[in-house]
Structures are given as structure tokens and as C-alpha cells.
Amino acid sequence: MRLGCRTWATGLCSQYSFGGVGGDMFVRHGWHGLMVAAAAVLLGSCATIQPAHDVPQINKLLTDRGAPALGWDGAGDDKTLVTGWLAEPLTAEHAVRVAMLRSPRLQQEYARLGVARADIMEAVQIANPRLSLSTLALGGGSGSQFSIGIAMPLVDLLVLPSRTKLARSEFERAKLEIAATVMAVSFDVEQDWYDYVGARQVADMRQAVATGLATSAELAKRYFDAGNISELQLKREEAAAIEARIAASRTQIAAQQARLTLNLAMGVSGPDADWKVIGRLPMPVEREDDAAELMQLATVGNLDLLAARHEADILAGVAGIARKFRLIGGTEVGYDRERETDGAVIRGPTLNLELPIFNQGGARVARADANAQLAQARLAQLQLKTRNAVSLGSERVRVLSDIVRTHRDGLIPARETIVARSQQEQNFMLIGAFELIRAKTGEYDAYQSYLEAIRDYWVARIDLMRTIGARLPSEQQATSFAPALNEIPTAPRVPAHHHHGDPK
């Protein structure tokens, strides 16, 4: 539960008023003094909330964590930028940059920043003083009594410094929260990009398998036409080819769906949505980040954690003020000027004192304490969750990296050797062409598993970045690229084996 800026500020205003010391000040300095004091505080607190500094401050939070900055710097021709990025084969980085400029979610977040700012401004305003006017006429005679008075809750003035401090803290918290949301959106876009590339590669591999089995079925038809295989054998081949085609169609739809999801996340539609994507994913990094280092990064840098810490601090501060001023109720101070019916004028300060006899504001204090504890508990839970999530996420990334390596160093070479050796056996008429083609489609399946593992690895890294709240330092390591789809059909041949006295 996010404590609204407005709620606690007005709560302070309405419930924690006090007099005493402040009243003396006004008696001494009079009306003018009151106005000057109020104006000074008002202007002073406003000076700390400059809308022009919002976006750069949020951008600093983002870039400190390696994330790309918000695109709104007020001016700038973002349309050409976006068109330029979409004209090239789309990378994950460019997808995120487009989203920074176009994502409707981010635009919502930015608008929320304005709302937050408004909340803050309201919180640091002093409640307007009340003017009372009365004209009383003497019954049946001439003369009237006219009184004019001005009164305001003194508590506003007294609590204003604390309120300002808390308001600034709250604004920080709002900025942290907004920056956290911006980062979350960028991670979402990035994940959507990987999901799309992965779905497309899967669709392409299923298509390769479907094409291979269709060729096998076509070859079987030729054997059947020559009278060399039975219809039973032919139909087995055809059924396998058709099943593969159906599977390929389904994965094609899934890829289209993933593309739509990415377009929505980027905020792109119409002709802009016709971009092409790069065909290769990068390989995993050589050295993964140390889990202890990541834990440290998360503890000091996670924006959600920082925001939660702010919130806990703010509510602790509110509880402190509540406890400090619990005996002062709705005390008001003011100034009255009366012109009596006989023309005499009396004037002077007024004091309206709430006596804490029946209650000492215990309920207020209890509520404030409870809110503070709630925020503290929420922070603790978030810390626990983050610690565990970082640990688990780090382990997951490691395991998925191993899986990719196992594919690259074990499964793929084995499948390629199977194809090469099968070709040698088919050369010597030890096996037939259909068995050879099955060996090849088995290799396609292995490549699909490989590409899916690479995609799963990068998505796991994004999940880890979500829990840490920053991009991983290991991103800086250069990596090679996974094989492109068009390389797979012509896999490398078996290296020349030792031949004992070749007949050639």
C-alpha cells in the first residue's frame, strides 16, 4: 500500500495543531509578521520542487543503474530517432529506446510524476487562514457591533519544517518509485524482444523440419511410383510430413503473437510496426556475476527497496511528530478586532485551546505507530524477497548458461556427427535416404533446443536484473553470436578421420 502524499499531509494539518509558543510570536510582531513568516516558508518550500529538474533526476537514477534514460527532454525530434531505429534490424537495445519514447505505459508514469509533484506542492502549503466577520446590531437601537478576526491553526506553522522535510523525502520516494517503474517497463520490453526472437527462431526451425520431412515424403512418393515401397511405407512418410507442417503453423502463430506483444510494449503501430529483427542472439557471457556482489548491488541500489526504505522512514517521522504533539489538539491562534456598539474598538490576539482531558490523542499516535510498523514490515519482507530472489536468480542464470554450453559443446556436435556419419553410411548403401533425412531433422531439433536455451538464459538474466534493480555488470563482457538460422542447414563436415591405407 502506497501512502498517498496528500493523505498524511492533510492529516498533519487537521489533527496536529498547536499554539503556545507561536502565539507569542504573533502577538509581538502582529499581522504583518504572520504574513511575512508564512510567505517565507511557503516560498522556501516551493523552491525545492522544480518541475524542470524532475526528468534529469530520474534519468540519473536510471543511468546509474545502467538503464537507458527517459526520452523526454522536452524538445527533440524523437520521430526521426524512432524511424531510424526501426529501419535497421531491431536489437534489444533499440527496442527499449523506442519504448522510452513511445511506450504508453511510460507516458502514464511520467504523468503520474506531475500528479506526485502536485501532491507535494499541496502538502507544503500552509492552510489558508480563516476570516470571520460579524455585524451585530443592538436590538431596537442604533449602533452595531462589527468584529473581524483572522484565525489559523498554529500547528501548520510549527510543523511546517518537519512537513517540508517529509515532503521532500516523499518526493524522493515518488521519484524512486517512478524510476523503478520505468526500469520495469524497459525490462518488460527487453523480455518481449527476446520472447519474439526466440519464438521466431522456433518457428523457423519447425519450418526447416517440416520442409525436410516434406522432401522425405516427396522422395518416398518417387520410390512408391517405381514400385519399390508399399503404400503403407509411403503413408507413414506423408503422415510424418503433415504432422510437422501442422506443428510449424502453430509456432508461426505464436511468433506473430509475440511480435504483437512487443509492438504493444514499444508503443508502435501502423507502418512503423513493419520492422525486421536481427537473426542472431548473443551467446552467454564467459563469467557470470558473483552472487555476493549482486546482493550488495541490490541492497544499496534496488529502487523498490530504496522507495520502501523512504516510505518506512517517512512514516516513522510522521509517527514521531504524532507522538511529540499528541497533547495539542485543535488549538488555534488568531487576532480579533471588534468595534463595539458604542464605537469603542478592542483588539487583540485570540487563543482557542484544546484541552487534552478526555483523550491525549492516543488513537492518533497508535494509528501512526501502526502505519510505521506496517511500512517497516513491508520493507523487511521486500528485503527478504530480494535476497532470496537474487540468490535464486543468480543460480538460475548459471544453470541456464551451463545448459547452453552443454548444447554447444555436447549435443550439437554429437548431432552433427550423427548426420555426417549417417551420410557416410548412406554413401556406402548401408542405410537408406529416409533414415539419413531423419538424422538431419534430429539435428534441427537439437538446434531448436539450443536456441531456446539461449533465449531462456537471456530472459533469466532480465529476471535477475528485475530483482536487483540494475543492469548486470557482466553485460560489459563481449560475447560471440549464436549460429544464425541460415548456417544450420549446411553444418560443418566431419574432419578427415585417420584412414588406414586408403584404397585411393
Nearer to other proteins, 358 or 428 (CB): 428
Q: Is 436 in the site for other proteins (CB under 8 A)?
A: yes
The window from 142-150, 198-206, 216-224, 365-373 that contacts other proteins (CB under 8 A) reads 216-224
- Cβ proximity to other proteins: between 364 and 440 the closer is 440
> What span, in angstroms and rounded, lies between the C-alpha atoms of 6 and 474?
42
Identify the helix (H) or strand (E) that includes residue 470.
none
Q: 178 Cβ partners below 8 Å, 6+ apart?
A: 58, 109, 110, 112, 113, 116
> Under the criterion CB under 8 A, does residue 425 sit at the interface with other proteins?
yes
Is the separation of the CB atoms in 266 and 99 below 8 Å?
yes
Position 495 contacts other proteins (CB under 8 A): no
Question: For 408, which DSSP code?
Answer: I
Among 4, 114, 432, 473, interactor with other proteins by CB under 8 A:
432
Q: Residue 233 or residue 376: which is nearer to other proteins going by CB?
A: 233
How many C-beta neighbours within 10 Å does residue 442 have?
15
When binding is defined by CB under 8 A, the residue of 208, 297, 379, 464 that contacts other proteins is 208
Contact between 223 and other proteins per CB under 8 A: yes
Q: Nearest distance from residue 259's CB to other proteins, in Å?
A: 27
Using rule CB under 8 A, residue 427 touches other proteins: yes
* Span 236-295, contacts to other proteins by CB under 8 A: none
Q: How many CA atoms lie within 13 A of 69 on its CB side?
A: 12
Q: Alpha helices of 226-361 — where are they, by DSSP H?
A: 231-266, 291-301, 303-324
Q: Which of 431, 445, 456, 459 binds other proteins (CB under 8 A)?
A: 431
Which residue has cell 507502418? Answer: 271
Interaction residues for other proteins, span 405-424 (CB under 8 A): 419, 421, 423-424
Per-residue CA distances from 503 to 205, 364, 427, 496, 499 (Å): 40, 100, 16, 15, 9
Residues shown for the chain: 504
**Binding to other proteins in span 162-191, by CB under 8 A:** none
Per rule CB under 8 A, is residue 23 in the interface with other proteins? no
Q: Find the part of the chain contacting other proteins (CB under 8 A) among 119-127, 296-304, 410-418, 426-434.
A: 426-434
From first CA to last CA, the distance across the chain in angstroms is: 81
Q: At what angle do helices 154-225 and 5-15 cross, to 10 degrees?
A: 160
Would you count residue 29 as binding other proteins (CB under 8 A)? no
Footprint on this chain of other proteins (rule: CB under 8 A): 208, 211-212, 215, 218-219, 222-223, 225-229, 233, 419, 421, 423-434, 436-437, 440, 489-490, 493, 497-504
